[in-house]
Structure 1
Amino acid sequence: MTAPPFPLRTECPPGTCNCGRGALLQAPGGDLRALRLTRAEEKKLVERLENLSSLADLRHMQARMEQQLGLRLAITLSPHEVRSLRGIAIGVLEQPGLCRKTRQAIPAAIKKSMDRHPAIAYALLDEGGLFGAA
Structure 2
Amino acid sequence: MPAMRIQCPPGACICERERLLSQPEGDLRILMLTREEEKRLLARIESIDSLADLRHVQGLMRRQLGIVVDIAPGSNEVRTVMGLRIEVLPQPGLCRKTRKSIPAALRRCFEARRQVVFDLLDEHDLLAAVHDGVSRP
* TM-score, structure 2 normalization: 0.91
Residue 14 of structure 1: aligned partner: 10
Residue 31 of structure 2: aligned partner: 35
Check whether the contact 2:82–2:107 (CA below 8 A) recurs between aligned residues: no
Q: Does 2:70 correspond to 1:74?
A: yes
Structure 2 segments unaligned to the other structure (5+ residues): none
Runs of 4+ in 1 over 2 A off after TM superposition: none
Q: Which amino acid in the other structure matches residue 108 of structure 1? A: A
Distance in 2, Cα, partners of 1:14 & 1:8: 17
Q: Which amino acid in the other structure matches residue 35 of structure 2? A: R
Residue 22 of structure 2: aligned partner: 26
Count of aligned pairs = 130
Distance in 1, Cα, partners of 2:125 & 2:20: 39
Residue 97 of structure 2: aligned partner: 101
Q: Which amino acid in the other structure matches residue 45 of structure 1? A: L
Distance in 2, Cα, partners of 1:18 & 1:110: 22
Distance in 1, Cα, partners of 2:23 & 2:77: 44
- The root-mean-square deviation of aligned C-alpha atoms, in Å, is 1.0
Structure 1 segments unaligned to the other structure (5+ residues): none
SS class of match (1:58)? helix
